[in-house]
Amino acid sequence: MSIRLAIHGGKPTVVYNGPHLIWPEITPKLEQAVIGQLHKAISIYDRSGIYEEFEEKFSHYHHVRYALGTSSGTAALYSIFVGAGLKEGDEIICPSYTFFATISPIFFTGAVPVLCEVQEDGNIDPNSIEKLLTPKTKAIIVTHMWGIPCEMDRITKIAKKHHLFLFEDCSHAHGATYKGKLVGTFGDAAAWSLQGQKNVTAGEGGIMLTRNKDIYYRAMLLGHFNKRCMKEINKNNKLYKFAVTGMGLKLRMHPLGAAIANEQFDYLDEWLKTKRKIAQRFDKAFSTMPGVRPAIKPAKSNPAWYAYVLRYIPEELGGLSIEGFFSALQVEGCIMLDRPNSTCPLNHHYLFKCPEKLFPSYKGKIKYKVGDFPVAEKFHKHSLKLPVWHDERYTELAEQYIEAFRKVTSYYVSTSKRL
Ligand X SMILES: Cc1ncc(COP(=O)(O)O)c(C=O)c1O
Cα Dmax for the chain? 80
From the CB of residue 19, how many other CB atoms can be counted at a distance below 10 Å? 10
Q: Which residue is nearest to ligand X (CB)?
A: 73
Question: Binder to ligand X among 79, 104, 137, 195 (CB under 6 A)?
Answer: 195
CB 121 within 8 A of CB 295: yes
Question: Binder to ligand X among 58, 99, 305, 412 (CB under 6 A)?
Answer: 99
CB of 306 vs ligand X, minimal distance in Å:
8
Question: Binder to ligand X among 37, 109, 119, 193 (CB under 6 A)?
Answer: 193
What is the x/- site pattern for ligand X, positions 296-335, by CB under 6 A?
A: ----------------------------------------
- The residues in 27-86 that bind ligand X, with binding defined as CB under 6 A, are 72-74
- List strands edge to edge, sheet with 181-182: 181-182, 177-178, 301-302
Q: Give per-residue burial for 126-156: e unless 16+ CB within 10 Å, then b.
A: bebbeeebeeebbbbbbbbbbbbbbbbeebb
Q: How far apart are CA 292 and CA 295, in angstroms?
A: 10
From the CB of residue 418, how many other CB atoms can be counted at a distance below 10 Å? 6
The stretches of 312-394 forming alpha helices (DSSP H) are 322-331, 350-353, 374-381
Stretch that binds ligand X, among 80-88, 96-104, 122-130, 333-341 (CB under 6 A): 96-104
- The residues in 129-188 that bind ligand X, with binding defined as CB under 6 A, are 143, 169, 171-172
- Binding residues with ligand X: total (CB under 6 A): 14
Q: Which is nearer to ligand X, 151 or 332 (CB)?
A: 151
CB of 99 vs ligand X, minimal distance in Å:
4
Q: Which is nearer to ligand X, 13 or 123 (CB)?
A: 123
- The residues in 361-390 that bind ligand X, with binding defined as CB under 6 A, are none
DSSP 234-299: -TTSTTGGGTTTTTS-B-PPPHHHHHHHHHHHTTHHHHHHHHHHHHHHHHHHHTSSTTEEPPP--T
CB of 2 vs ligand X, minimal distance in Å:
42
Q: Which is nearer to ligand X, 101 or 328 (CB)?
A: 101
Would you count residue 98 as binding ligand X (CB under 6 A)?
yes
What residues make contact with ligand X under the rule CB under 6 A? 72-74, 98-99, 101-102, 143, 169, 171-172, 193, 195, 206
